[in-house]
Amino acid sequence: MIERLFSLGYSKTFAERYYELWGERALKIAEAMEKPLPRCFRVNTLRIEVPRLTKMLNKKGFQFRRAPWAREGFCLTKEAFSITSTPEYLGGLLYIQEASSMYPPVALEPKPGDVVADMAAAPGGKTSYLAQLMKNRGIIYAFDVDEERLREMRLNLSRLGVINTVLLHRSSLHMGELGIKFDKILLDAPCTGSGTIHKNPERKSSRTMEDIRFCQRLQMQMLRVALENLKPGGIVVYSTCSLEPEENEFVIQWVLDNFDVKLLPLKYGEPALTEPFGVKLSEEISKARRFYPDRHGTTGFFIAKIEKTGI
Ligand code: SAM
């Protein structure tokens, strides 16, 4: 089994880790990541209603199925020609978005009028979904450190008609400077991206344990800042496209151990791991969720919904 993971290109360290985590299933997960992902899109309800756009696309020969966790999300089952060359795409009636990536904004449940922060926002897939759920009302402070990705984000937001979002080219580790207490915060954290091998096959061999430790430190710092700048009773949704427990369950255990918070249940995905690598974690961690390429047909994805219970 481990030999098969080697032959797919995984380094010894990661092949062994995955076998320890999932046993024989590790191969199923790895094999699923060798196949391309279905192309999915989100109807931009800032510009058009869902039934109207789906009818227009059907007429042009596109067929799709619903993403179970996102009312506006669909995955193509028949794409007669590239959907990105349609006037519907170019006019911002839809946004191409991987299915699991639609879940964090839905889970955060932002309301029109909320004050929201998106701590790692570019190129804006999730920010624009937040804006859509907020009906372009309230305000979103969207941070990113990468100028190139922010430029792309500005184009995306403008094409989609988002007008309630302020872009900040600044590390969100400094967001306390704004002096705002947020109702809701999305932290779609920078991570090693090991759930995205479909798109980045070089990560099978290029990632190291040091990369995981680097990301974990940053993720913890960002979560600390999120909780410091959140109103009591406020919500943080934390997500990564990493398969590594150190960037997911262990980070959430650290939050449970160090802050006045509780995890809120999430309906979709598989319960997160409560005993990764034989380390016994809090049972509450199972409220966080994982999406797997072999079972959900998505990237590998992790999501946790955290409520701040203290002041
Ligand atoms: N949420 C985005 C979306 O759905 O389109 C994807 C975000 S990507 C997973 C992580 C992002 O974090 C990258 O764009 C990266 O530039 C950004 N980032 C890394 N460190 C950061 C920091 N200290 N503050 C803000 N953004 C950061």
Task: Determine the Cα–Cα distance for residues 46 and 49; give it in Å rounded to an integer.
Answer: 8
The residue type found at 69 is W
| Residue 31 CA to ligand 1 centre (angstroms) | 28
DSSP SS3 for 309: coil
- Active site annotation includes 241: yes
Instruction: Decide: 289 and 270 in contact? Cβ < 8 Å.
Output: yes
State whether the beta carbon of 120 lies less than 6 angstroms from ligand 1.
yes
Structure tokens, 141: 């402070």
Task: Determine the Cα–Cα distance for residues 126 and 111; give it in Å rounded to an integer.
Answer: 15
> For residue 257, how far is the Cα from the chain centroid?
24
Task: Determine the Cα–Cα distance for residues 187 and 184; give it in Å rounded to an integer.
Answer: 10
pTM given for the model: 0.97
The domains found in the chain, sorted by start residue, are 99-308 (3.40.50.150)
Residue of 40, 191, 215, 241 with catalytic role: 241
Q: Which atom of ligand 1 is nearest to the CA of 188?
A: 1
DSSP SS3 for 251: helix
264 CB neighbour count, 10 Å cutoff: 15
Q: Which atom of ligand 1 is nearest to the CA of 149?
A: 14
Write the CB contacts of 189 (distance below 8 Å, at least 6 apart in sequence): 119, 120, 215, 218, 219, 222, 238, 239, 240, 247
| Residue 218 CA to ligand 1 centre (angstroms) | 11
> pLDDT 10s per residue in the chain (311 long)?
788 888 999 999 999 999 999 999 999 999 999 999 999 999 999 999 999 999 999 999 999 999 999 999 999 999 989 999 999 999 999 999 999 999 999 999 999 999 999 999 999 999 999 999 999 999 999 999 999 999 999 999 999 999 999 999 999 999 999 999 999 999 999 999 999 999 889 888 889 999 999 999 999 999 999 999 999 999 999 999 999 999 999 999 999 999 999 999 999 999 999 999 999 999 999 999 999 999 999 999 999 999 999 88
Q: Which atom of ligand 1 is nearest to the CA of 171?
A: 24
State whether the beta carbon of 21 lies less than 6 angstroms from ligand 1.
no
Cis amide leading into 36 (omega within 30): no
Backbone angles phi, psi at 285, to 5 degrees: -55, -25
Cis amide leading into 123 (omega within 30): yes
Task: Give the angle 28-245-306 at the CA atoms, nearest 5°.
Answer: 120
